[in-house]
Structures are given as C-alpha cells and as structure tokens.
Chain A
C-alpha cells in the first residue's frame, strides 16, 4: 500500500504542476490590445444559456478588439456571489440586477455607473425602450440600468373549467370574488398557489398594496429613508389576501407546495386559476395547449391606488462604476438590446422584451404579446414587493406571509413588525 501511495503522490505532483500551469494562463486578464469585459448574468440553464453565448459570439465577431468573459449563475446563488465579489477588485463590468430597490442600493453605494448621459446621447436607443421598462431602473431622475426582460404578472385560467360554469374573466375584484365563489360551490379548487417559496404570495401582496394605497404614499413608504407604513391600506391588503385563503378560494396547504408543483397541478386541471409571470406563458401553453386565457389583477373599488397599474417589473443589467471600459460596456448593452437581438430573444426563448415592438404576435405567443400590450397601456408598474422595499422590510414581509396565510398571525401584528423595521432602516440608510 505504501508503494502505491508513493507512486500516487508522485503522479499527483506532476498532475498538479501541469494543471496549475494551465489554470494560470486562463486567468490572465489582458491579451495584447484587446479590451476584456466581464459579463455576469443569471441564466445558466440549458434553455437560456445558448442565447447569450450566441449573442456574445456575434458581438465579438463584429468587434474583434473586444473580448467578453461571460459567467452565468442562477437566481439564488447570484445573490450570494454578487455580495462577495462586489467588495473585491474583480467586479464584473456588466452584471445582472433586478430593478427597484435592489438596483438602488448599488446606486446608493456608488457601485453602479450612471447611464443617463449614454442614453441621452443616443436617443434612438433610448426611445426603443417601452418607457415603463426604464423607469424602475432610475434613481433621482438618473438611469442606472438597462432592461433585458419586461415581466408582468397575470392570472391564467383553465378555459374548460370556466366554460363549464359559464364564467368570464373578471375585471373588478367583486366579479373576481363571485367567480371564485361559483367555482368553490361547484367543487373545483378555485386558485392554485404554491407558496413554499414565500415570494409567490408576495406577488399577490405587491398588487394588492399598489391598488389599496395611494401612489405617493406608497412611494414614500417604500423609500428606505422615509418608510412608515402607517396607511390602513397595507393592513387591508393583507386582510384581503388572508380572506381569500380563509374562504377556501386557495388550494389546501399552500405553504407546503412549491410553485413548480402548482404549475403541474394547474396543468393537470386540478385548479381553475394560477397567478404567473409572462415568462411562464410558454410553459402554460405547452401544458394547456390553447385551453387557457388570462387577465390582470382586477380593479378594487375602494382602492386608493391607480387601478390601471400592472404588477411586474423589468430586470436587466447595471454597469459597474469601477469599470475601466464604460464605452465598450455600453456598446455591448446596445448590441444586446438592439431590435435584432430583442426579436431573437422573444423568438428563441419566449421572454417579453422591453424593446417596443419586439414582442408581437409574429415573434411570440399571442398571449405574451397581449400581455406586453397591457403593460404598455398601463399607467405604471407595481414592482415586486420583495425587491422594491429595503431588504430588511422585505424580510419581514417574506417571513410573515406564510403565517398570514395559515392564520397564525394577523395583518395588524405583521404591520406592526413592518413599521418597527422601517423605523430602524430609516436611521441606518444615509
């Protein structure tokens, strides 16, 4: 055994030396004359990654003096990695960011580059975006992010089940409740909700908050420096959500089923309605094959917020303030969001694009195009609650929403916690 161990060690030593040689050459930064851009995005999955690889290749062909080093990290891990690497000196030039507060905290920390001058000098580029998609990436009237996708949240429904009870897509909340009641009385499960990951119910609350609370009040509260959350609309919103569950309009045990499971249950016809994002429409179509329709969150009669907002948000990229090659970074972003590549995005992946006109019935599912139209016509977007408020406030909502749904905490108790944390946050944010 010892002889073998010695031989093994010797072989390993050689192996190690050889490989160290290889790996150090791959980490050399500047090849002579070329500008190297580091690009970090959040889609490593085999359905999405090829799109980015193709776009990068095409860009490098057109710009032989620029090389792009791309890294793709999924949803949850990217939140971890971003926080670790932002403190170092290997910050990516272009990196993924959600809009809203998530992006604004980078702005506050001076980690994001101000893109306003670049947008203003190329008005054609600026105007190619649907305005509502640029807005959530702004702070103090300045643009800091470029959107890649523009998601909205809609209720999809099983046409067969609706037809069975002669139901139509509701436009007001009262109509909505009537639809749910009819379904329940008929023995169907009205709404499928997979809230094992609490963001699912948070998306409901996003829309409810926006519709119940006046816009200026809500914007003041969502701003970490001035958040108070004293408007009764917040409590009412939570109450409405809890009531939906109390009256049995949601399926059983929402907190124990994941959103993926919900998707399958809906596909199998085990429920009539499911709340999804535009990017999921393709999956829904795959599963339902035409047997479905959709409608946005219905308007609420006594809500003080604008009833024509749609819940949803863009997500895309920010540029590091520490980048040594801002012009090249912008060039790449322009390429990524050109009409040509936007059309490619929609056709190849089925995502809704923020480029005006890219999402149309020729390139995408007609429902996706219709959804984007809704968003264009809307007065504004209600961005996801967990990315629109300060992380600590979001944390309170996220950790309590499951308890709200299973009845162990009341809206009044929850809002008290929110108010306390909001106060704490006020003093911490400069």
Chain B
C-alpha cells in the first residue's frame, strides 16, 4: 500500500477526531446552557404562576379561610363568590369599561401611529423639540392634574360623560405609545419606502401600506399596553364621572372594599374576573409577536 493514498490521511484523522470532540464539547456546553436556563426560568415561572393560581382560588374562600389558611386550597369552594362579585362590582360596569377601553385604544393607535410616523420617517429641523414636547406628557403626575382637568371638563360641559374619561385617557397614553412606536418605525428599512415613492405612492399610501403593516408587532403591543392602563385606571374614573350608569370596573370593584368589613373572597373574585379580559387580550395579540413576518417583507 502506497503512503500517499490512504483512505484517510493520518492528519485528517486527527482533525476529524479533534473535530468531533469539539463538536461534543460544544454539545455538552449547549446542554448545560439549556438546562441552566430552563431551571432558572422554571423557577421564575413558578414564582409567577403560583400567585396567579392563588388569586383565582382565593376568590373561592370565605374570610376566615382566607386569613387563616392563606396558602392552602379552599376549605369550602364558594363558587357563589364569583357570582356575588359579578353582581355587585362588575356586571353593570363591564360594557362601560369595554367601550371606553376600545375607543381609547383605537384613538391612541390612530393618532399615535401618525405622530410616530411623522417623527421617525422624516428629518426636519426641530423634530426633537416635538419629541420632547410629546414625551413631557409622560412626566405629569396624574394626581396634580385631577383638579385642573376636573374644572376643565366641567367648563366644556363634558363632565360625567364617556368623553370625560376617553379624552384624558387618550391624552395621557399617547406619549408612551408614540415614543414606543417611533422607536420601532425607526428600524424599518428606508429602501422599501423609497422604491414605493419611486413607483408613485404618496405619503399617505406609504403610511398605510408599508409602515403600518410592517409595524404590526409594535402596534399590537401598543394596543395591549394602552388597553391595560385604561382598563385598570381608577383615579380619573372615580372623579370625572358620577352616574353609576357610566361607571367602570375599577370603581365598581371599590364597592366591595370597606374599612372594617371587607369580604376578601368576593373582592378577590372580582379582581380575578377583571384581570381575565386583559389576559385573554394578551394571548390574542401575542400572535403578532412572531419573528418572520417582518423579516420577509424586507427582502421582497
């Protein structure tokens, strides 16, 4: 057998040998990494899931059970608590909350995406001033605006109407939404836009047909985040509206709380019911947060 044509050269054999051990070292490292991560994330998940389940179960307890056996399963499963919570604090206010939240969210998405578009796809002098102006809306504590806003709403005759809540909510949620959407729009490639304009699209069409679809993930998250804040908001809902026909859920839930006499089971049941729509909304919107939707269109 000649020296120069073995099936596998000795050196190559070595390379393959060390190559495969490199591969197995890499594999082991990966396994460790994966297990470590899964362990840690698993612990985090327990720290989160356990209290959530606790919330749901506590709604089924009586006061004595709640305070004396805080962490165990209910002694008696008082399903009636959920019914009582619905009747006293939620039922009649559900439509109001839904209406106000939906209108507020849609308005924020519309006005906010327009403003974010203007702030991210253009370069003009003073654009940063606009950004700061808008951002400063985030820096106002809602409590100090309670009295001025109250007087304002009375002066324009909107006090004690749906608009008394919708308008301030939109105004207070816009800054964050704009800031968020702008940061995402900034990362959308300019080539698409330019080719569209060369093809004869006007700005509005660019906005509607390119930016909005590409921005779906961030728009969906804005919808969710804005929705959450409006759904759970209490202060404005307490003060700007007084007819119980216009009340929202957070204020309705307050009905279940008192200084000396709260029925915690019913109250928690109410809070659990109130949290449910938001959790469902998240699961629905989640479908937007999938990689690949955006990457594809850039290449096209």
Contacts and interface: CB of A to CB of B under 8 A. Distances in A.
Direct contact of A and B (CB under 8 A): yes
Interface of A: 1-2, 8-9, 12, 15-16, 19-20, 23-24, 26-27, 43-47, 49, 71-77, 80-81, 84-85, 87-90, 197, 259-261, 263-265, 267-268, 277, 279-280, 283, 287
B162 A277 contact: no
A260 B63 contact: yes
A134 B299 CA distance: 81
B160, B251, B261 interface centre (most CB from chain A within 10 Å): B261
A34 to B, nearest CB: 17
Contacts of B244: 71
A255 to B, nearest CB: 16
B88 A46 contact: yes
B245 A26 contact: yes
Contact of A280 (B99, B260, B264): B260
Contact of A74 (B84, B212, B258): B258
A259 B106 contact: no
B150 interface: yes
Interface of B: 63-64, 66-68, 84, 87-88, 99, 102-103, 106, 146-147, 150-151, 154, 159-163, 208, 212-213, 216, 235, 238-239, 242-246, 251, 254-262, 264
A47 B261 contact: yes
Contacts of B99: 15, 19
A264 B106 CA distance: 46
B84 A46 contact: yes
A20 B161 contact: yes
Nearest to A92: B242
Contact of A75 (B213, B243, B246, B259): B259
A265 B67 contact: yes
A44 B239 contact: no
Contacts of B162: 16, 19-20, 23
B235 A80 contact: yes
A45 B261 contact: yes
25 contacts: A19-B162, A20-B161, A23-B245, A27-B161, A43-B258, A45-B88, A46-B87, A46-B88, A71-B242, A71-B244, A75-B257, A75-B258, A77-B254, A80-B235, A81-B238, A84-B150, A85-B150, A85-B239, A88-B159, A90-B159, A90-B160, A264-B64, A268-B64, A279-B260, A280-B261
Contact of A84 (B103, B147, B212, B213): B147
Contact of A260 (B235, B256, B264): B264
Nearest to B149: A84
A8 B259 CA distance: 43
Given A44-B254, A71-B244, A283-B261, A88 B151 contact: yes
A47 B266 CA distance: 13
Grouping DSSP codes into helix (H, G, I), strand (E, B) and loop, the A interface class, with mixed when no group exceeds half, is helix
Given A90-B159, A264-B68, A265-B67, A26 B243 contact: yes
A24 B245 CA distance: 12
A74 B255 contact: yes
A9 B257 CA distance: 37
A72 B238 CA distance: 11
A72 B243 contact: no
Contacts of A27: 159-161, 243
A229 to B, nearest CB: 27
B63 to A, nearest CB: 6
A294 to B, nearest CB: 16
Contacts of B163: 20
A27 B157 CA distance: 10
Contacts of B260: 259, 277, 279-280
Contacts of A45: 88, 255-258, 261
The 9 A-B residue pairs whose C-beta atoms are closest, nearest first, are A264-B67, A44-B255, A46-B88, A75-B259, A23-B161, A261-B67, A27-B160, A84-B239, A74-B254
A1 B64 CA distance: 51
Contact of B262 (A9, A26, A88, A260): A260
Given A19-B99, A27-B160, A88-B151, 8 more contacts: A2-B208, A9-B106, A19-B162, A27-B161, A74-B258, A261-B67, A280-B261, A287-B64
A80 B243 contact: no
A274 to B, nearest CB: 12
Contacts of B63: 260, 263-264
B255 A72 contact: yes
Contacts of B88: 45-46
Nearest to B99: A19
Contacts of B216: 1
A23 B64 contact: no
A9 B163 CA distance: 17
B34 to A, nearest CB: 36
B242 A80 contact: no
Nearest to A88: B154
Contacts of A23: 160-162, 243, 245-246
A419 to B, nearest CB: 29
A73 B103 contact: no
Contacts of B67: 260-261, 264-265
A12 B102 contact: yes
Nearest to B67: A264
Contacts of A280: 260-261
Contacts of A46: 84, 87-88, 255-256
B262 A24 contact: no
A16 B254 CA distance: 27
A197 B88 CA distance: 25
A87 B147 CA distance: 8
Nearest to A42: B258
A43 B260 CA distance: 12
Contacts of A197: 259
B288 to A, nearest CB: 10
B141 to A, nearest CB: 14
A26 B242 CA distance: 11
A155 to B, nearest CB: 16
Contacts of A49: 255
Contacts of B66: 264
B161 A12 contact: no
A1 B287 CA distance: 14
B150 A88 contact: yes
Contacts of A264: 63-64, 66-68
